[in-house]
Amino acid sequence: MPTAQYPPEKMMFQLTLRRRGISDQAVLRAMEEIPRELFVEPADRADAYRDSALGIACGQTISQPFVVAYMTEQLQLQKHHRVLEIGTGSGYQAAILSRVCSQVLTLERFRTLADGARARLSKVGCDNVEVLLGDGFDVPASAGNFDRIIVTAAMERIPEGLTERLDPGGVLIAPVGPPQDTQTLVRIIRTDAGFERKELVDVRFVPALPGIAREL
């Protein structure tokens, strides 16, 4: 591939992910293929490939690239998996997931964000992603169960109704802890004997809120 397609900031972006321990080749390819600059605010495009979170509409954020890659890697995705995402935001995490799995259903409580993400995902050809305006604490029963679930906003505790949507052998990743403070990224695996829980790394996310936003 011509060097001209790799601006210095994007080359450093990939190097940083590798240096910080991301080794799943499918995840690294997805991070390379998806143009992050399309998922940030226009004023922030020059900083799209910095390893930092950035503000988006409705008081939300797009997570730093390492956190996106790390959470995706910890899901241990396979190509046939069906994934539920709680908290669409700009659509970036869903776009990354779409390159590594079969199908993504992503729920967003803000209509503005849902509409914007839907347009961006269509633009980059993520045809296996469905964006739904909805409540992440009340996933529609019609959605069925999932191989993987990823939550991209902080929950004080993971609702039982969410873990019960995991298929046997399924994996859930979520930041757990108090809002406006440091949370811990938690991985839950559904086994024949119940649920195995492991704490991974400290993170900071905006809080997950119930219901559909009345405005925005």
Q: Tokens for 211, please give them.
A: 């219901």
In a domain, 215, yes or no: no
209 within a domain of the structure (yes/no): no
Q: Alpha-carbon distance 147 to 89, whole Å?
A: 21
In the chain, the largest separation of any two C-alpha atoms, in whole Å, equals: 52
Is position 63 annotated as part of the catalytic site?
Answer: yes
Is 79 inside any structural domain? Answer: yes
Residue closest to 101 by CA, chosen among 115, 90, 88, 85: 85
Rounded CA-CA distance 216/212 in Å is 10
pLDDT of residue 2: 42
pLDDT < 70 regions, the chain: 1-7, 215-216
Q: Which amino acid is at 97?
A: L
Q: Is residue 130 part of a domain?
A: yes
Confidence at residue 215, expressed as pLDDT on a 0 to 100 scale: 66
Give the model's pLDDT for residue 130: 98
Instruction: Give me the pLDDT at residue 46, please.
Output: 92
How far is residue 121 CA from its own chain's centroid?
13
208 within some domain: no
pLDDT at 11: 84
Report if residue 18 sits inside a domain: yes
Domain total in the chain: 1
Q: Give dist(CA 83, CA 95) in Å, integer.
A: 12
175: CB partners within 8 A, 6+ apart: 151, 152, 153, 154, 155, 183, 184, 185, 186, 203, 204, 205
Handedness of CA 186, 190, 192, 194 (dihedral sign): positive
Position 6 scores a pLDDT of 58
Sign, CA dihedral 11-14-15-16, equals positive
Would you state the pLDDT for residue 118?
98
> What integer pLDDT is reported at residue 180 of this predicted model?
82
Residue 92 lies in a domain: yes
Looking at residue 8, its pLDDT comes to 77
**Per annotation, catalytic residue among 52, 63, 102, 122:** 63
Q: For position 166, what pLDDT does the model report?
A: 98
In-domain check, residue 213:
no
Q: Which two tokens stand for residue 3?
A: 């060097």
* Number of separate helices (H) and strands (E) present in the chain: 6, 9
CA angle 119, 122, 124 (to 5 degrees): 115
Range of the domain at 156: 3-203
CATH code at 34?
A: 3.40.50.150
Q: Cβ distance 170 to 150 under 8 Å? A: no
Q: DSSP class of residue 21?
A: T
